[in-house]
Structure 1
Amino acid sequence: MKKRVILCCVTCYLLSAFPGNTGSRLMDSLYCVMEYSEGIINCSWSESPRSRQYVNMTLMDINRGPFCAKDPAKLEASHETWTCSKVFAGHRLYDSIHLAFVPNRSLESHLNVSNEGDVVKPKNLRCEVSLDQTIHCSWEVRQDVADSVDFSLYYQDQSRKEEVCKSTCWQEIPTHLSCACNFTSRPYNNPIHLFNISVGPADPKTSNVLFKICEHIKLQPRNLTINETSKGETFLISWDKDPIEKPDFNYHYELCYWRDNDVKPSEERT
């Protein structure tokens, strides 16, 4: 039977996701890879069209500003896929880039401040103090907004140092999430002296994904020359070194082959 052959470079890993990411659905969908032969970093992500009706998000390098301009790639009923490309300039292969999605408007809600009429910001923020000085805060946020924005609760005490309380959320009605957060006032602080309690997007400096360039590299397969001998039983396969290959890596190749009726092996290594 006829055979087909491909050659894959397996020196570097092609990762399909950022490990350990537990942010919004938008952040969880982010995928980036460096096209080594082109010197370009390509990113893609999926976003709910309903979410975009409420808030626009920009992919940011938290140390350098906007990462790249997005272009629509694919539109489906439940989500839209976006892509963007950035020329690999000003970075080294062993650099790391901290990426985060940032909303285009303020989404903070403050305690005892009404957001009546603004359907995008969290609402019904309320806090109660228990006898053991534990403070329980709860609020609601629209599901479509929470799909793109990861919210946290912030509070300050008399020292004016801002603290963060990571929330837990659950769904009680189809359109909104109910969220809550508990924290304990320090012994020297009277809970009634706490002020500036608010709910807002997570700080990009502490809520981001780490893109390690050297771990997200895609190399192109080499062009093969195939010579058939022994009446189709033996094949001599050769290839030339790619002129763009650089001494940044040790190059190792794996030869993959399959028959016409077999399932083609994947060219991506995870």
Structure 2
Amino acid sequence: MSIASHPIPFWLIVLIFLLALPACAFAGFRFGRFELRRAPALFAADKLPGEASLGALLALLGLLLGFTFSAVLSWREASVSAVVEEAAALGTAFLRADLLPEGTGRPLQAALLDYGRTRIVPTGFRATRESIDAFVSRSTEAQAALWPATMAALTPEVAAPLATYVSGGITEVLDAHTRRVAAASKTITSGIWMLLTFAAGSGVFIIGNRAALQGRRLSWRTLVFSLVLTAVLVTIEDLSRGSDGFTRVPQTPLVAAVADMEAAFEAPALASVSARP
């Protein structure tokens, strides 16, 4: 599985939609004016073409937008749940490691803390392929230390039930990574985006074209429709991005889990210092 990347900045996507859809309406209007001047007899009020095709196209556009919006909303919820589950798994594994003798449990807790820090997506992170590879590389490097630290901590002196309990927490941390990668790998394909963009552009183009063929001006209603359509497309793109849109996958559960782990890890050291004469 590969984490989905977004090479085009989000602000540029918003700007493209804001300009492209009204431009399609204006282009359709200008083309309709040209058709009307060239053959006015063909476009009498009682035989104006395109009404059925426009209705079918807008219905299809609504269907495409509805299914796509539902899919990206489901993916966003899965990404949010994956972050919460990973934070819970890290906290649980850290507490289970505290049951081990301090000489063996502390190195395992340190490895979990180092790994947890690498799992937090920083503010302003943009999911280009280079930044994703760098983030995953740091995380997998810290992850590679978890199982050796677990094996070193589970000495023969550790009771078998406790060893199973601790190792189960570590494997849950590793499984949480897989689930989070699976959630982050889902995105809208370029083919689907081309279909959505073509359908939206065609719809506003025909609306502008029919306005010209009816001898009317390009009204503010067409502009409002194109802006609403832009807002829907931007929202879909926003939900498909986890870190650089208007709404982002919250990292609060991981931040809180790491903060709790840091406080618990430092507490014994502070206690030992205060106990000195």
Compute the TM-score of the two structures, normalised by the length of structure 2.
0.20
| Structure with more strand by fraction | 1
Which has the higher Rg, Structure 1 or Structure 2?
Answer: 2
| Structure with more helix by fraction | 2
Compute the TM-score of the two structures, normalised by the length of structure 1.
0.20
